[in-house]
Amino acid sequence: MQHRWVGCMLAASLGAVLPALVHRAHADVLGHDLFFARYYTQNDEWTPSDPWGHYGTLNLYTADASDFDSVSVELPDESLLLLTDYGTTFQNSRFFNSDEEMFEALPSGLYWFYCDGGTLGAQAYFLERVPEVYWPDAVPTFTPETFQGMQSVNAGADFVLEFNGWSAPPPADSLSAFVYMYEYESGEFVMISYLEPWMTSYTMPAGTLKPGTRYSVYLTFSARIQEFDRVIPRLVAYDHSTYSELLTVDGCVGDLNGDNLVDDSDFVIFVEAYNLLDCADPAMPLNCPADLNRDDLVDDSDFVIFVGAYNELICP
């Protein structure tokens, strides 16, 4: 989509711009915000990685794609940043190597959102980032039991994600948490669920996921200051977001012969695969069905999953 700078963005000063702005139909602007985010990865049962990504994102949301032709933001250092038009969202999201680099590019002070064109015409909105930062006091972390279970989820049954609690320091006055998922291979968006900040679990309903599929899961804790520009909500937010993966199995976990039971016959199949260990071994059955956590090995971690299913006997 072509980027278009608007006349009000080129004005020499804010004083020269504001008298020309027409303030009308403000209810059609749904909000504007500034998000800072640290991204982590959880690759085992215990502790997520150090932050691997730092993102700063400016957004303005409208009710209709035709509301504005363009939106730009004047930063506290008086430089201008054009937001990309995604229909009902105008956004500029940037990756940084560290908190220091991120906060230098998006410093404390006033941010003016200048809108132009479309059905609503020229308008301006602002928000302020105070010098203090207020990250959530914890990094989102799935419990060991949940992480282990995420390696072989039965898509036909409810699955409970359990994770740690958290809080945020003042001046944060609005807390939010959410979990969202994509298919790993296609990148197709699957679901998002908003959580109360006091929640430490979320039940994913049966049928949400497809069997035999790999998913990318993000769990986010967000500490926010929310105010209002006239009647339009504005906020500055600091997010911790942890990435992990979830794999669903074809059919019933541990049912290696497809008879809807996990019994001694499956145990015999599992032991043979366990003795081979490596899924690349030519003697391993096609698709390595005993590799229940899909790490290309049939080892003790798979045995833990198999024993749980074996004790249940009957497939859900």
Concatenate the DSSP letters of all residues of 201-246 into one string.
Answer: EEEEPTTSS-TT-EEEEEEEEEEEEEEEETTEEEEEEEEEEEEEEE
pLDDT in the model for residue 4: 25
Span 151-177, pLDDT tens digits: 888 787 788 999 999 999 888 888 999
Fill in the amino acid letter for 294: R
pLDDT higher than threshold 80 for residue 26: no
Pairing of β 53-62 and β 123-129: unpaired
Confidence of residue 10 (pLDDT cuts 50, 70, 90): very low
> For residue 46, is pLDDT > 70?
yes
What is the gyration radius of the CA atoms in the chain, in angstroms? 25
Residues belonging to the chain: 316
Position 5 confidence tier, pLDDT thresholds 50, 70, 90: very low
**Residue 196: Cβ within 10 Å count:** 8
- The domain locations on the chain are 7-40+52-131, 135-228+238-251, 264-312
- For residues 206 and 2, the model is more confident at 206
163/223 Cα distance (integer angstroms)? 17
- pLDDT recorded at residue 188: 94
Q: Helix (H, G, I), strand (E, B), or coil: what is residue 87?
A: coil
Measured CA to CA, the distance from residue 227 to residue 174 in angstroms comes to 10
Instruction: Please give the average per-residue pLDDT across 51-69, as a whole number.
Output: 95
Give the tokens for residue 43: 């690759």
User: How many beta carbons lie within 10 A of that of residue 270, not counting itself?
Assistant: 22
Residue at 186: amino acid letter: S
- Topology of domain 7-40+52-131 in CATH is Immunoglobulin-like (2.60.40)
The CATH number fitting domain 135-228+238-251, selected from 1.10.730.10, 2.60.40.10, 2.30.30.100, 3.40.50.2000: 2.60.40.10
**Which band of pLDDT confidence, cut at 50, 70 and 90, is reported for residue 16?**
very low
- Cα gap 218→215, rounded to integer Å: 10
Residue 11 scores a pLDDT above 60: no
pLDDT at 9 over 70: no
Please, which residues bridge with residue 27 across strands?
Answer: none
Of 289, 299, 282, nearest to 258 by C-alpha is 289
Residue 1 confidence (pLDDT): 27
Residues 89, 113: contact at Cβ < 8 Å? no
Tens digit of pLDDT for each residue in 78-122?
999 999 999 999 999 999 999 999 999 999 999 999 999 999 999
The reply to whether 135-228+238-251 shares the fold of 7-40+52-131 is yes
Residue 128: both structure tokens together: 């302020």
What local confidence, expressed as pLDDT, does residue 312 receive?
85
CB 57 within 8 A of CB 93: yes
Structure tokens at 213: 């599929």
Do residues 147 and 244 touch, judged by C-beta distance below 8 A?
yes
Share of the chain above pLDDT 90, in %: 67
Burial class (CB in 10 A: 0-12, 13-18, 19+), 52: exposed
Per-residue model confidence (pLDDT) at position 27: 57
pLDDT at 157: 74
Q: What are the strands of the beta sheet with 53-62, ordered from one edge?
A: 84-85, 89-96, 53-62, 29-41, 232-247, 214-229, 174-183, 189-195
Residue 275 dihedral angles phi and psi, to the nearest 5°:
-70, -30
Query: Which segment of 61-65, 134-138, 204-208, 253-257 scores lowest on mean pLDDT?
Result: 253-257
Amino acid at site 276:
L
Which range among 13-27, 126-140, 151-165, 245-259 shows the weakest confidence by mean pLDDT?
13-27
Each residue's pLDDT tens digit, 214-263: 999 999 999 999 988 778 899 999 999 999 999 987 777 888 887 778 99
Once rounded to an integer, what is the mean pLDDT over residues 117-138?
A: 94
